[in-house]
A and B are shown apart, each in its own frame.
Chain A
Amino acid sequence: MSEQPPIRHFAIIRFGKTGRTRFLSHLDLARAVDRAVRRAGLPVKYSEGFNPSAQIGYASALPVGTAAEAEPCQIELTRPMPADEIHRALAAELPEGITLADTRVVSGPRRKHISGSEIAEYEIELDASGAPCVEALRQGVQELLDAGELMVLRETKSQTREIDVRPGIQELSVVEPRSEEAGPRIRMTLALQQDKLVKPSEVIEWLERRLFGLTGRDVRLDVRVVTRLGLR
């Protein structure tokens, strides 16, 4: 008779990194979450060995400065607990700026519940001053979508090479400003996996170059905030 794999219990949360906390590094953020989980008194599972660490995993690390609304994170627990209880306890202990979007629980033999996201959605808010109008941006975006390719330079340890990341851009659109003082926003859905990865900054830089070509004058798209809306 084969041995049954043990049943594991997880809290799967989606958290946000808003306001000034977007300037936390992934490591700083992980430490802050770690401590919040401890303060909340969740029965978190620890690794074995000389340096036991709380079993908390993230779907993807966010760069310093990038905000987020719903980043998946899994917390392994030693025993099952109702999701709403976890949500309440944790939300009370997360530092200001780190928000809790939702919490669910799973139990079962699987070890990983949040890996395998293939695409990320971003919203880039431009600085109102100096930003081109929504129409011009839309025209640039359309050109990029029509273009067959988007060549970018990628550095690896040994070499720099030019690759086409256009296949990694799934959606791209321009959204009206939130208010009169705010700048227009650009939404994009980009591939996340290593071979097709597209960075939001690469799309923005391409747009800058195209808008310069269109208008004949120097255009700078000053990014105010990059927000990762979610992973899929």
Chain B
Amino acid sequence: MILPMLPESTLNRIETPARYIGGERNQVVKPRGEVDLRVALCYPDSYEVGMSHAGLRVLYEVVNRRSDAAAERVFLPWVDAIALMRDEAIALSSHETGTPLAQFDLVGITLQHELTFTNVLEMLDLGGIPVRSADRHGSHPLVVGGGPCAFNPEPMADFFDLFVIGDGEEALDDLLDLLASLPDELARREGRADEARRELLRRCAEIEGVYVPSGYRARESAEGMLIPEAIDETFPPRVTRRVVNDLNTAPWPCAPVIPWTEAVHDRAEIEIARGCTRGCRFCQAGMIYRPVRERDLDTLVEQAVEIIRNTGWDELSLLSLNCPDYTQIADLIDRLHERLASERVSVGMPSLRVDTFSVGLADRLQRVRKSGLTLAPEAGSQRMRDIVNKDVEAEDLFASVRAAFRAGWQRVKLYFMMGLPRETDEDVLAIADLVGEVRRIGRETMTKGGYGRLGINVSVNAFIPKAHTPFQWIGMADPETLQRRRELLFSRLTDRRVSLSVSSGGSSVLEAALARGDRSLCPVIESAWRAGAIYDGWTECFDGERWHAAFGEHDLDVEAAARRSIPREAELPWDVIDSGVTREFLLRELDCALEGAHTPDCRAEGCNVCGMTALVADCPPVRWQGREGDRQ
């Protein structure tokens, strides 16, 4: 039976009802009863955000390829619709068939960001599933987490039955194979439901890359952190991340569901590479997605053409942590142009390196539409860029913007961080100096009219230490320091061509506290959610006081948790997850940071012994000579 997600009578009482009507082009509907396994793929944020997520589309493809399984999409309704659903006792259900969340076999929820944690609880509860894993029994779905935040699963350990660590394509298939092979009496035994469920979780834990939190009990470490320890040999002491070795054999969705409303990223996407080994020391993605793996050029071109044919999108975005580093990037762009220019498809890249090569690429790309150019020098002073291992010098930035202004760009966006380890006020003021120089270059290079329209957007975010990075031992800067540096920047950057936005405290502090948290945060998250916390990543919904109170209720302090420095010898709550990168490597990188020593990219300069050779044969799979301008 196919039901709507919300009854029609509710749709004229909520904002943007189109996001709840379902029936989008390219959705896959397998009626109930036609397949054995029903998988809900949940994105714990709004439809517009969730429909933009490539990972969800990939898993939708992985599941729907199987003849024995159906994947259906579930997003968190906006707050007005949630209120209405609670009033009228309407359970959260899927877009495809209106199946309530509680009736799926497997509920997969991606954790892209710490500030979506309360949304997870809201989705489970609204879907009729007990929020705590311990309260679920045989007939409840298996609640599975994944995504970058699963690399420190501890703050969410109580709410998930299991986590898949790393690339999900093969691991999800393995899980479904297991569920399909289980006899019914084990999977859904009515009588001794608890026992059956425990047995099911044990079997899941045998799959590589699967972490079952209930198989671990928390022990308090010397430093007062809760460290998960396996209760018996069924559960591995450490769970090793899954790595898809060959992207060419990995599935890619070439007929993705087209959102009805304008999604955050409303465009076709091809993943040209996964991983980045440039080695920025603050960057979690640069550590947990190693090594760099590329898709073949021919495969990519065929995928791009097919997606455009199946969707009618007029924009194609290349996905990678570092697009210009793709070994055949220039050829790829030319080939895509050749095949797609007549279809009026513009090709774009979300991330650019700060070098003239990248600007040259961007110029090639944006022949059709010239929007703003985004560059991320990350820090203002050379000293800070050395500390974070950002391989960019001031002169690279100047050469890049000079090239951009000459090529006709009038708007540039510059990304920086502040509150980095060992940072001083002078380092932050150096941001202002860089921006001043960029403006001067604009005046020098641009025509008078162009300079009149010059816009420099400067975005400065607070540094947040993340698990599995060389900076995981270092606390976030204190709020007073961040506030002072923020004011310094505002006092220096007063030119009308420069618009400055500096992230202000509140939600960054919470994100930092959650990112390096342990199991003691599970009840805190639940308390905050019960007190009404939801959509914490949205400024209009975030309420710092509510979180303050929730931490206080459990004798914890959100700021202290965010600022905490961890001794380097300490056991860490996320040690149970083996990202492939070793503690020795991270510590070595931390030491290099404090000395300002540069660590080059292993693709060009040889192995840095990060540990990935243990997971990937013949690592690194991609090698090259480096680019002009790379520091040797």
A contacts, CB < 8 Å to B: 20-21, 23-25, 27-28, 31-32, 34-39, 46, 50-52, 64-65, 93, 95-97
**Closest-CB distance, B173 to chain A (whole angstroms):** 30
Asked if B491 lies at the interface with its beta carbon under 8 angstroms from chain A, I say no
Q: Which residues of B are found within 8 Å of A95, using beta-carbon distances?
A: 23-25, 258
Interface segment, B10-18, B64-72, B277-285? B10-18
Q: Which residues of B contact A36 (CB under 8 A)?
A: 312
Which residues of the partner chain A approach B182 to less than 8 Å between Cβ atoms?
none
Separation of A43 and B315 alpha carbons in the complex (Å): 18
Distance between A221 CB and nearest chain B CB, rounded to angstroms:
14
A sample of 29 cross-chain residue pairs with beta-carbon separation below 8 angstroms, ordered by A number, consists of A20-B11, A20-B21, A21-B23, A23-B18, A24-B18, A25-B18, A25-B261, A27-B262, A28-B260, A31-B262, A31-B266, A32-B25, A32-B258, A34-B312, A34-B314, A35-B25, A35-B258, A35-B312, A39-B309, A39-B311, A46-B344, A50-B368, A52-B368, A64-B18, A65-B11, A93-B312, A95-B23, A95-B24, A95-B258
Q: Which of B1-36 contact A (CB under 8 A)?
A: 4, 8, 11-12, 16-18, 21-25
Question: A28 and B261: CB pair below 8 A?
Answer: yes
A28-B261, A50-B369 in contact; A23/B312 too (CB < 8 A)?
A: no
Q: Which of A35, A50, A96 contacts B313 (CB 8 A)?
A: A35
Closest to A51 in B: B369
CB pair A39 B310 closer than 8 Å: yes
In the bound assembly, the distance between CA atoms of A111 and B312 in angstroms comes to 25
Interchain nearest-CB distance for B213 vs A (Å): 40
Report whether B17 and A23 are in contact in the complex, using a CB–CB cutoff of 8 Å: yes
Residue numbers in A under 8 Å from B262 (CB-CB): 27-28, 31
Q: Is the CB of A20 within 8 A of B312?
A: no
Closest to B24 in A: A95
Contact partners of A96 in chain B: CB under 8 A:
23, 25
- Which residue of B18, B22, B312 is within 8 Å of A39 (Cβ)? B312
In the complex, B86 has a CB within 8 A of chain A = no
Contact (Cβ within 8 A) B8 A20: yes
In the complex, are the beta carbons of B314 and A28 less than 8 A apart?
Answer: no
Instruction: Provide the residues of chain A in CB contact with B258, threshold 8 Å.
Output: 32, 35, 95
Contact partner of B312 (CB less than 8 A), chosen from A21, A27, A38, A51, is A38
Distance in angstroms between the alpha carbons of A27 and B260 in the assembled complex = 10
CB of B73 to closest CB in A, whole Å: 16
Q: Who on chain A is nearest to B12 by CB?
A: A65
A34 CA to B343 CA in the complex, in Å? 13
Query: Is residue B370 contacting chain A, with contact meaning CB distance below 8 A?
Result: yes
Pairs of residues from A and B, 3 with the lowest C-beta to C-beta distance, nearest first: A35-B312, A38-B312, A20-B21
Residue from the set A27, A28, A65, A97 with the largest chain B CB neighbour count within 10 Å: A28
A220 to chain B, nearest CB (A): 14
Q: Given A34-B312, A35-B258, output 7 extra A-B contacts at Cβ < 8 Å.
A: A20-B8, A20-B11, A21-B23, A38-B343, A64-B18, A95-B25, A96-B25
Chain A residue contacts of B22, Cβ below 8 A: 20
Bound CA–CA A124/B107 (angstroms)? 41
Q: How far is the CB of B437 from chain A (nearest CB, A)?
A: 28
Closest chain B CB from A78 CB (angstroms): 12
Interface residues, chain B, CB within 8 Å of chain A? 4, 8, 11-12, 16-18, 21-25, 258, 260-262, 266, 309-314, 343-344, 368-370
In the assembled complex, how far is the CB of residue B181 from the closest CB belonging to chain A, in whole angstroms?
Answer: 36
CA distance A51 to B18 in the complex (A): 26
The CA-CA distance from A52 to B343 in the complex, in Å, is 12
The chain B residue with its CB closest to the CB of A24 is B18
Tell which of B21, B22, B258, B260 has the most Cβ of chain A within 10 Å.
B260
Contact present for A21 and B21 (CB under 8 Å): yes
- Is A64 a contact of B17 with CB atoms below 8 Å? yes
- Closest Cβ of chain A to B409, distance in Å, is 12
How many Å lie between the Cα of A215 and that of B62 in the bound state?
61
Minimal beta-carbon separation of B612 from chain A (angstroms)? 41
Residues of B within 8 Å of A28, CB to CB, are 18, 260-262
Known contacts A20-B8, A65-B11, A95-B23; A32/B260 CB under 8 A = yes
CB distance from B52 to the nearest CB of A (A): 15
**Given A35, A46, A97, which contacts B23 in the complex, CB threshold below 8 Å?**
A97
Cβ–Cβ contact B314 & A23, under 8 A: no
A52 contacts B344, C-beta separation under 8 Å? yes
Nearest B residue to A36 by beta-carbon distance?
A: B312
Query: Given A28-B18, A52-B344, A20 and B4 touching (CB < 8 A)?
Result: yes
Contacts of A39 in B (CB 8 A): 309-312
B312, A37: Cβ atoms closer than 8 Å: yes
Distance of A27 Cα from B18 Cα, bound (Å): 11
Distance in Å from the Cβ of B507 to the closest Cβ of chain A? 30
Which residues of chain B come closer than 8 Å to A38, judged between CB atoms? 312, 314, 343
Do B370 and A50 touch (CB < 8 A)? yes
Task: For residue B47, give the distance in angstroms from its CB to the closest CB of chain A.
Answer: 12
**Assembled-state Cα–Cα distance A23/B23 (Å):** 12
- Distance (whole angstroms) from the CB of B586 to the closest CB of chain A: 46
User: When the two chains form the complex, which single residue of B16, B23, B266, B368 contacts A20, counting CB atoms closer than 8 Å?
Assistant: B23
Q: How far is the CA of A64 from the CA of B309 in the complex (A)?
A: 29
Contacts of A97 in B (CB 8 A): 23
Give the Cβ gap from B314 to chain A, nearest Cβ, in Å.
7
Residues of B within 8 A of A50 (CB): 368-370
Closest residue of chain B to A31, judged by CB?
A: B262
Residues of A within 8 A of B4 (CB): 20
Q: How far is the CA of A115 from the CA of B16 in the complex (A)?
A: 28
B261, closest chain A residue (CB): A28
Contact assessment for B24 and A23 in the assembled complex, using a CB-CB cutoff below 8 Å: no
Closest chain A CB from B407 CB (angstroms): 14
Chain B residues with Cβ under 8 A from A64's Cβ? 12, 17-18
Contacts of A52 in B (CB 8 A): 344, 368
Most buried by B among A21, A23, A32, A36: A23
